[in-house]
Amino acid sequence: MAKKSIYLDNSATTRVADEVVEAMLPYFTEEYGNPSSLHEFGRNAKAAIDNARMTIADSISANPEEIFFTSGGTESDNIAVFGVAKAFGKGRIITTKIEHPAIKNTVKELENEGFDVVRLDVDKEGFINLEQLEKAITDNTILVSIIHANNEIGTIQDIDKIGHLVKSKNIDAYFHVDAVQSYTKIPIDVDAAKVDLLSVASHKIHGPKGVGALYVREGTRLSTLQLGGSQEKNRRAGTENVPGIVGFSKAVEINMADFYKHTEKMTQLRDKLITNIECKIPDVILNGPKRDKRNPNNVNFSFKYVEGESILLHLDLEGIAVSTGSACSSNSLKPSHVLEAIGLPIDVSHGSIRFTLSRYTAEEEIDKVIEILPGIIEKLRTLSPLTQKSDVI
């Protein structure tokens, strides 16, 4: 009998909810019109997009006219950062040393083009220093881009404080938030937090891949990057992915309907896993903060004296799927820039594993990991040349 697989890589992607698939199906075979067409098929498709826009706007306390659909979080981040940079032509961009590659590499490209870039330091738990941010904001600052919940270590930045600080120092500087990992897991109010641009993605919340959204506050200067038709109010040319947008909207609806129930469940399972790993396995380091300052679904540990890839493969043999960090960097042999930024030594960072949960994660799955993991670590440490003999259990 085959082992039942346990999926704990939900920050990479999630399973699509059954209700989402059901909601999407008619838009492949029945309501398949182009939303730009004036006939009934087109009108029905456009109505579906308009309804989805309202659902996503409501979830972050925005107006529907401020929501623009994209192909995912990476495109949303690119439109936000490149769009502001192109609109201004020059100026300072402030970000952090622990951004997702969609921001990290975009900002690097702008730095190569002559933009002044400031990368904020973080402490050992991944939090920025607000005083450093305040000093970095100048009259020529055009954009501050901060990740809300870090994709590797789960650190939640206080975007309310950051947004108010940005606007108090320079009312004309825009504040962009990468909320791809936090969306529908942490409450977001773009107006209260003074957010001008915010990126979200469908496949992180049990929606389909290949669709996301960008919130753009009304009046924000943002140049168009993709030329073509007039779709999405000329923000993003190209025929809209109607089934994907419908599915995204349904996923948002599901997650927001029982927001506190499903986040509380993930939080309890997250903390159970953290507590048991710390109790049962010596020489481990929890990367990122504990409790309410950590994304509800995120657990990231460094296991001394062993390689993360070896842990991953041994867990995979047991039918347990995890990751060694960001899925976007999984083919790189370089140490995680996030773990480097929080001061983790390179040899320790190479022994890091990320477990990420979802609304479908069951307690018995967490129990299975707690049962299996200590033996895997003990076995690998016994074989590892990195382990001091006195350290072997």
Instruction: Write the pLDDT tens digit of every residue in 160-218.
Output: 999 999 999 999 999 999 999 999 999 999 999 999 999 999 999 999 999 999 999 99
**Is the distance from CB of 56 to CB of 248 less than 8 angstroms?**
yes
**Residue 266 and residue 149: Cα distance in Å, rounded?**
15
Domain ends where: 231, 257, 283?
257
* pLDDT above 80: residue 328: no
**Residue 251 and residue 15: Cα distance in Å, rounded?**
11
Establish if 303 belongs to a structural domain: yes
222 and 305 share one domain: no
* pLDDT above 60: residue 342: yes
Which residues partner with 146 through β-bridges? 177
Domain ends where: 239, 257, 275?
257
SS3 248: helix
* pLDDT above 80: residue 387: no
Q: Phi, psi at residue 214, to the nearest 5°?
A: -125, 125
Query: Span 329-356, mean pLDDT?
Result: 87
Query: Span 232-254, mean pLDDT?
Result: 91
Average pLDDT, the chain: 94
Q: So what's the pLDDT on residue 229?
A: 79
Q: So what's the pLDDT on residue 389?
A: 45
136 and 252 share one domain: yes
Residue 328 appears among annotated catalytic residues: yes
**Is the distance from CB of 284 to CB of 304 less than 8 angstroms?**
yes
* pLDDT above 90: residue 327: no
124 and 243 share one domain: yes
Specify the amino acid at residue 35. Answer: P
**Is the distance from CB of 93 to CB of 116 less than 8 angstroms?**
yes
Establish if 134 belongs to a structural domain: yes
pLDDT tens per residue, range 40-57: 999 999 999 999 999 999
Q: How far is CA 90 from the centre of its chain?
A: 28
Residue 131: Cβ-neighbour burial (10 angstroms; 0-12, 13-18, 19+)? exposed
Q: So what's the pLDDT on residue 231?
A: 78
SS3 52: helix
Q: Percent of the chain having pLDDT more than 70? A: 95
Which DSSP state fits 283? Answer: S
Q: So what's the pLDDT on residue 226?
A: 81
Q: So what's the pLDDT on residue 232?
A: 80
114 and 68 share one domain: yes
Q: Give the domain CATH number at 331.
A: 3.90.1150.10
Nearest to 323 by CA among 290, 341, 345, 297: 297
Structure tokens at 346: 């390179």
163 and 274 share one domain: no
72 and 146 share one domain: yes
270 and 221 share one domain: no
Q: So what's the pLDDT on residue 335?
A: 81
pLDDT tens per residue, range 113-143: 999 999 999 999 999 999 999 999 999 999 9
**Residue 344 and residue 71: Cα distance in Å, rounded?**
34
Q: So what's the pLDDT on residue 6?
A: 98
267 and 246 share one domain: no
10 and 36 share one domain: no
Specify the amino acid at residue 67. Answer: I
**Sheet with 298-303, side-by-side order of all strands:** 284-286, 298-303, 352-356
Catalytic residue among 225, 321, 328, 370: 328
175 and 75 share one domain: yes
**Is the distance from CB of 356 to CB of 299 less than 8 angstroms?**
yes
92 and 202 share one domain: yes
- Which residues, 6 or more positions from 21, have their beta carbon under 8 angstroms from its beta carbon? 247
Domain ends where: 221, 237, 257?
257
Q: Phi, psi at residue 111, to the nearest 5°?
A: -60, -40
Q: So what's the pLDDT on residue 235?
A: 81
Establish if 28 belongs to a structural domain: yes
Nearest to 384 by CA among 355, 353, 351: 351
Which DSSP state fits 174? Answer: E
Q: So what's the pLDDT on residue 167?
A: 98
Establish if 392 belongs to a structural domain: no
Q: So what's the pLDDT on residue 393?
A: 37
215 and 342 share one domain: no
Q: Give the domain CATH number at 240.
A: 3.40.640.10
Establish if 393 belongs to a structural domain: no
Establish if 307 belongs to a structural domain: yes
**Residue 72 and residue 93: Cα distance in Å, rounded?**
23
- Within a 13 Å sphere around the CA of 141, how many CA atoms are in the beta-carbon half? 25
* pLDDT above 60: residue 391: no
End-to-end Cα separation, the chain, in angstroms: 33
Q: So what's the pLDDT on residue 3?
A: 58
Query: Span 340-345, mean pLDDT?
Result: 96
**Residue-number span of the structural domain to which 73 is assigned:** 18-257
* pLDDT above 80: residue 364: yes
Helix (H) or strand (E) holding 123: none
Query: Span 360-376, mean pLDDT?
Result: 98
- Number of other CB atoms surrounding residue 335 within 10 Å: 17
Establish if 305 belongs to a structural domain: yes
Which residues partner with 69 through β-bridges? 213
**Residue 184 and residue 254: Cα distance in Å, rounded?**
10
pLDDT tens per residue, range 61-76: 999 999 999 999 999 9
Q: How confident is the model at residue 357 (pLDDT cuts 50, 70, 90)?
A: very high
Establish if 211 belongs to a structural domain: yes
Structural domain count, the chain: 2
